[in-house]
Structure 1
Amino acid sequence: MAFRRRTKSYPLFSQEFVIHNHADIGFCLVLCVLIGLMFEVTAKTAFLFILPQYNVSVPTADSETVHYHYGPKDLVTILFYIFITIILHAVVQEYILDKISKRLHLSKVKHSKFNESGQLVVFHLSSVIWCFYVVVTEGYLTNPRSLWEDYPHVYLPWPGPPSLLHTSPRFLPLSLGNSTFMDCFSGLQEEIPRQLQYICLYLVHIAGAYLLNLSRLGLILLLLQYSTEFLFHMARLFYFADENNEKLFNAWAAVFGVTRLFILTLAVLAIGFGLARMENQAFDPEKGNFNTLFCRLCMLLLVCAAQAWLMWRFIHSQLRHWREYWNEQSAKRRVPPAPRLPARLIKRESGYHENGVVKAENGTSPRTKKLKSP
């Protein structure tokens, strides 16, 4: 990873150079943006990378509240947060994961999975804390009707846009920069399709919730999903540390099914029933209103298909795990026990032993004495 002295150099702008120095490249770009804030000429351009640009001041009884909206300039902000996350990924890899993996002595495949789970544990933990803070402060848990009331939710308070806008780019480099890039370089191409499937699945759902102004519902669903993923990757880290430790996998299996049920229930409740009863059901992209029958059916179909696909993969992996376990147990039963060597028959001399000397029944030695010649 970055921030490490290397004895081997790679050609400039080659694939190996970018893979091994992507954190240093990102750090240089972030440093250029921060330096741009110091000068008046470049400060306006530098602020495009740091803060959301589409803000609206709403007057209140005490003061003004600033709300935000999305737009094309947010792509620049997303790019900046991608570089920030790449740097954080390199710091976690360098100072935490590499030191732990050296003590475990893992194989090449397990080492790649250990790094992936270690990075995603940090990401999911921070995302769970962030989403939970927004959900509690905005009162979405105490008032579930706020998930569909006053739709479209065009303007959001400050914690809202970063929670959805910045989780999507944060997930992308953590998976691509840590797993896909390094797996491509180390020859683990079989891991790349699986990682890309989950990356695309996350990005489609997050972008759909953000662009269709369903950010409140998206926050709740992300909180449930990230909590489950955090538990799974924690279980995998404990398994790499001790292969006999599988209790967290059992807890994750139970939580996984319950999470799928909660996500489907919330999606049907908010989209199928809540938005269907709203008066304003006209398609108006300028005002951010996508509350039509066709849009609702597409959203429900997407959520249900994703949850069904995840559940099918979960059941398939569990059945394969149980099949391998029972095959291993049956193979142990079929192995015949090691044959015992037959005891050798020892021909004992008549009499008994006394102090290591064979005695005859009458107490004399059974051995005949040689007569000396006169």
Structure 2
Amino acid sequence: MAFRRRTKSYPLFSQEFVIHNHADIGFCLVLCVLIGLMFEVTAKTAFLFILPQYNISVPTADSETVHYHYGPKDLVTILFYIFITIILHAVVQEYILDKISKRLHLSKVKHSKFNESGQLVVFHLSSVVWCLYVVVTEGYLTNLRSLWEDYPHVYLSPPVVPSDLSFPFFWRHDVLAHDGEEIPRQLQYISLYLLHIAGAYLLNLSRLGLILLLLQYSTEFLFHMARLFYFADENNERLFNAWAAVFGVTRLFILTLAVLAIGFGLARVENQVFDPEKGNFNTLPCRLGMLLLVCVAQAWLMWRFIHSQLRHWREYWKEQSAKRRVPAASRLPARPIKREPGYHENGVVKAENGTSPRTKKLKSP
């Protein structure tokens, strides 16, 4: 991992070099941006990496409020957030996960899964806290009508901007560091996340997408926390049972909110004209496409969940049946072997006093 002295060197710009030094590369790039803020010539360019560029001031009774909009320059800001996430990823791996895994003495497969769950626990916990803060401060939970009223929600409040900019692209940055068998599974989940979050971001449904993210990240946090406890103690599986119950309830809540906001809420909004320039996508084909995407994704996740649970149950019952089919011969007590008095030496029975215990027959003269 980064920030660690290595004895082995890799060819410059090779895949192994990038994998083992990606945190150091990201740190150098972030440092260059921060240094650029110190000079007037480069400060304007450096601010492109740090702050959103599409803002508008809305006057209020007391002062004015700044709102933001998305645009192509946000890609530069997202790139900067990716480098920040890579550095945090390396710090968590170096100073927390590696020290814990050394004490657990895990196998190679479990060690890889432990690192993956440890990183995602930190990511999902921070994401849940931030999403919950935004949802509570903006009043989305207390007023569900705000999810579809005044659509399109073209302008975003300042707390929502980091969520929409960073969540789509920094979920997993180290796909190349996984084994070849793990890359397809990682790409499936990453594509699913990117498709939903980018859709909510570009179709101006950030409010609904933020609440759905809060539900999804809460479930993922519970799952990876259960895996960490399982690696620490294999007999501890209570959190998996809690996660299984929460997983099904979360799928139901996500479908309900999606149907309520898209199927009923947006259908009653007066402005139902397809106008990409104004950010309005509230038409019947768009609503059906969004609902179909959400329903198919939740059905696929539920199918994967049921398939995984059935596989674990089959393995559990196979282990239980194997324990019951213990050979009957091993259960029977061993039959005692009758030994003649004395002791054995080189296959010959000797008496206690050194003479043979067998009586000799007298030969007739």
| Change in CA separation of 1:13 and 1:281 when aligned onto 2, cut-off 3 Å | same
Confirm or deny that 1:344 pairs with 2:356. no
Separation in 2 of the partners of 1:33 and 1:305?
A: 42
1:367 to 355, 358, 362: 358
**Count of residues paired in the alignment:** 353
- 1:346 offset after TM fit, Å? 8.9
- 1:92 offset after TM fit, Å? 0.2
| Change in CA separation of 1:335 and 1:272 when aligned onto 2, cut-off 3 Å | same
Summarize the alignment of residues 81-230 of structure 1 with structure 2, pairs less than 5 Å apart: 81-163=81-163, 190-230=181-221
Separation in 2 of the partners of 1:365 and 1:66?
A: 109
Q: Write the deviation string for residues 123-181 of structure 1: whole angstroms up to 9, x where unpaired.
A: 0000000000000000001000100000000011100121199999xxxxxxxxxxxxx
SS at match of 2:133: helix
- 1:12 offset after TM fit, Å? 1.1
8 Å CA contact 1:114, 1:240 repeated in 2:
yes
| Change in CA separation of 1:125 and 1:167 when aligned onto 2, cut-off 3 Å | farther
SS at match of 2:65: strand
Q: Write the deviation string for residues 277-305 of structure 1: whole angstroms up to 9, x where unpaired.
A: 11000000010000000000000000000
8 Å CA contact 2:19, 2:177 repeated in 1:
no
Q: Write the deviation string for residues 108-129 of structure 1: whole angstroms up to 9, x where unpaired.
A: 1111111100000000000000
| Further displaced range: 139-148 or 364-373 | 364-373
- 1:337 offset after TM fit, Å? 3.6
Separation in 2 of the partners of 1:63 and 1:123?
A: 35
Separation in 2 of the partners of 1:340 and 1:324?
A: 25
Confirm or deny that 1:269 pairs with 2:281. no
User: Please, what TM-score do these two structures have when normalized by structure 1?
Assistant: 0.85
| Change in CA separation of 1:223 and 1:357 when aligned onto 2, cut-off 3 Å | closer
| Change in CA separation of 1:118 and 1:165 when aligned onto 2, cut-off 3 Å | closer
| Change in CA separation of 1:7 and 1:344 when aligned onto 2, cut-off 3 Å | closer
SS at match of 2:67: strand
| Change in CA separation of 1:35 and 1:335 when aligned onto 2, cut-off 3 Å | same
Separation in 2 of the partners of 1:48 and 1:360?
A: 100
8 Å CA contact 1:81, 1:166 repeated in 2:
no
8 Å CA contact 1:33, 1:46 repeated in 2:
yes
8 Å CA contact 1:120, 1:230 repeated in 2:
yes
| Further displaced range: 253-262 or 340-349 | 340-349
- 1:326 offset after TM fit, Å? 0.8
- 1:358 offset after TM fit, Å? 21
User: Please, what TM-score do these two structures have when normalized by structure 2?
Assistant: 0.87
SS at match of 1:250: helix
| Change in CA separation of 1:337 and 1:200 when aligned onto 2, cut-off 3 Å | same
8 Å CA contact 1:78, 1:165 repeated in 2:
no
- 1:339 offset after TM fit, Å? 4.0
Summarize the alignment of residues 14-53 of structure 1 with structure 2, pairs less than 5 Å apart: 14-53=14-53
- 1:64 offset after TM fit, Å? 0.7
SS at match of 2:66: strand
Task: Give 5+ residue unaligned stretches, structure 1.
Answer: 169-189
| Change in CA separation of 1:274 and 1:332 when aligned onto 2, cut-off 3 Å | same
8 Å CA contact 1:37, 1:46 repeated in 2:
yes
8 Å CA contact 1:165, 1:210 repeated in 2:
no
Q: Write the deviation string for residues 2-24 of structure 1: whole angstroms up to 9, x where unpaired.
A: 00011111111111111110000
SS at match of 1:350: coil
SS at match of 2:329: coil
| Change in CA separation of 1:264 and 1:365 when aligned onto 2, cut-off 3 Å | closer
| Change in CA separation of 1:349 and 1:41 when aligned onto 2, cut-off 3 Å | closer
Separation in 2 of the partners of 1:122 and 1:167?
A: 22
Separation in 2 of the partners of 1:202 and 1:360?
A: 84
| Further displaced range: 340-349 or 354-363 | 354-363
Task: Give 5+ residue unaligned stretches, structure 2.
Answer: 164-175
| Change in CA separation of 1:369 and 1:84 when aligned onto 2, cut-off 3 Å | closer
Separation in 1 of the partners of 2:8 and 2:350?
A: 82
| Change in CA separation of 1:102 and 1:283 when aligned onto 2, cut-off 3 Å | same
| Change in CA separation of 1:155 and 1:346 when aligned onto 2, cut-off 3 Å | closer
Separation in 1 of the partners of 2:200 and 2:75?
A: 16
8 Å CA contact 1:110, 1:240 repeated in 2:
yes
| Change in CA separation of 1:362 and 1:315 when aligned onto 2, cut-off 3 Å | closer
Separation in 2 of the partners of 1:167 and 1:352?
A: 62
| Further displaced range: 340-349 or 95-104 | 340-349
Separation in 2 of the partners of 1:372 and 1:11?
A: 94
Separation in 2 of the partners of 1:372 and 1:112?
A: 82
8 Å CA contact 1:23, 1:90 repeated in 2:
yes
SS at match of 1:297: helix
Separation in 2 of the partners of 1:298 and 1:133?
A: 30
SS at match of 2:306: helix
Q: Percent identity?
A: 93
| Change in CA separation of 1:370 and 1:209 when aligned onto 2, cut-off 3 Å | closer
| Further displaced range: 335-344 or 307-316 | 335-344
Separation in 2 of the partners of 1:292 and 1:206?
A: 20
SS at match of 2:261: helix
Structure 2 partner of 1:309: 300
| Further displaced range: 127-136 or 331-340 | 331-340
Q: Write the deviation string for residues 71-120 of structure 1: whole angstroms up to 9, x where unpaired.
A: 00000000000000000000000000011111111111111111100000
8 Å CA contact 2:101, 2:111 repeated in 1:
yes
